A and B are shown apart, each in its own frame.
Chain A
Amino acid sequence: MRSAIAMGLLLVGLLLQSTVLNHMMIFGVKPDLILLVTAFWGFLRGPREGALVGAAGGLLLDLWRGRWIGLSSLTNLVVGYVAGSVGDRFFKDNLLVPFIIVAGASLLDGILFLALGNSFGLNYPLLPMLGRKVFPSLLYNLVVTPFVYSILWRTHQKLTRWVWTRGGM
């Protein structure tokens, strides 16, 4: 059940990112829905699930791209895990927290992607890329945070209730 929902969310994210969101680009970037799903899933449901969802979402991106397969899987896995570990220390109903999580996740993902990608021959200039890609995308991610977080929050509530009432996984 959990995996199906997570996969559904990731697939919707992938579909939107590869089609509709290209018409809504600002400064050459679009929101990274998969990253947001990963970060919030981890934040709300712990490091283990965060890492799994991150790896799955990253793998979708990697397979789509067909090159540097594993790069996004790895970065998103770390983001999901870190968001989960950090999540334990935050009050989950504080309105500011999702934004902090997204800012941190976007930054971490960008830096990891550049560091790892460059070690595998991507050869992106680090500082210019931070300015051109990572920060604009961080800002755009913050803009869509309320929408994505509300979906993830509700999903989390339903899953928690579901486990309580059915004792299912």
Chain B
Amino acid sequence: MDGLARRRAIVVFGVVFLLAVSLIFVTARERTRTSWVERTMQDAFSPLQKAASSAALYISDTWQTLRRISSLEKENEDLHKRITQLAAENVLLNQYQKENQELRRLLAFRQTVPYKMMAAEAISRDPSNWFNTLTIDKGSAQGLKVHQPVITEDGVVGQIRHVNQYTADVLMLLDSKSAIGGQIQGTQDFVLVEGADDGSGKAVVKPLSPEVVVKQGDVIVTSGLGGIFPKGLLIGRISEVKDWKYGLSTKIGVLQPAVRFSRLEKVFVITDLNN
């Protein structure tokens, strides 16, 4: 490069530099008006910018949405899994809560009864309509024997009629073959509680001597006579008194058992009358 050309270059740079600096200087202050150059340029560009930015926005949105969909799908799936899991846990917890309450109740009951008992679960009933028997899930393998009394915390259920190795049949007090020695609470008069077996879910209270009077509302407990049931277990309450022409007495009581036989689940077998 010769000296002339060099000087021209320096001058051009100087001019450009000055122009730039002054432009910077001028536009550095707050401006209320823009120049026509700026205006024209900006106006001319604006539709393109708009299109571009909306395209960009669209792409960005779509991309975001796509990303969100895939993450939402996953999230949804996770949440569904979680809901199912929680629902299952909830059912289980409810069940535990119920079981807990039930067990607390049974434990409290167990502590109030002074006999050796074994808890058992009622698993089925006699399949026919002829007998009121109940099958429980404990048998001779667990030490159960025939004639052991079966009760719940509400009262007397019946007695074991026969024992298998792992199950036992309980003759419920509703069965017409069942007869339990009872006593009227208060008067201490002796009665016999027999199953009515008429589908009413009730039993019959027959006085054991002509002078004994049964009244509505009388509470009947076991008498302890007969050696099967211990004394003082609740059997039920007399709900009605009826005329009777066959036995010792002219009146008999209809007994509403304390136990709800339609909802029997857990029962206790008294395995030893002495604790």
* Chain A contact residues, CB within 8 Å of chain B: 13-14, 17-19, 22-23, 25, 27-30, 32, 34, 61, 64-67, 72, 113, 117, 124, 128, 132-133, 136-137
- A30 contacts across to B, CB distance below 8 A: 129
| Interface secondary structure of B, over-half rule | loop
On whether the beta carbons of A132 and B126 are closer than 8 Å, the reply is: no
The complex places the Cα of A30 from the Cα of B130 at a distance, in Å, of 10
* Chain B contact residues, CB within 8 Å of chain A: 123-131, 133, 135, 161-162, 164, 169, 176, 197-201, 262
- A65 contacts across to B, CB distance below 8 A: 126, 128, 131, 133, 169
Q: With A17-B128, A113-B130, A133-B129 in contact, is A28–B198 under 8 Å at CB?
A: yes
> Which of A32, A64, A124, A137 meets B176, CB within 8 Å?
A124
On whether the beta carbons of B162 and A22 are closer than 8 Å, the reply is: no
| Interface secondary structure of A, over-half rule | helix
> Which of A27, A64, A133, A137 meets B126, CB within 8 Å?
A64
The complex places the Cα of A124 from the Cα of B196 at a distance, in Å, of 12
- B130 contacts across to A, CB distance below 8 A: 113, 117, 133
On whether the beta carbons of B125 and A22 are closer than 8 Å, the reply is: yes
On whether the beta carbons of A64 and B162 are closer than 8 Å, the reply is: no
- B126 contacts across to A, CB distance below 8 A: 18, 64-65
- A25 contacts across to B, CB distance below 8 A: 199, 262
In the complex, given contacts A22-B262, A66-B169, what are 20 additional A-B residue pairs having Cβ atoms less than 8 angstroms apart?
A: A18-B125, A18-B127, A18-B135, A19-B123, A19-B125, A22-B124, A22-B125, A23-B262, A25-B199, A28-B129, A28-B197, A34-B127, A61-B127, A65-B131, A66-B162, A67-B161, A117-B130, A132-B197, A132-B198, A133-B130
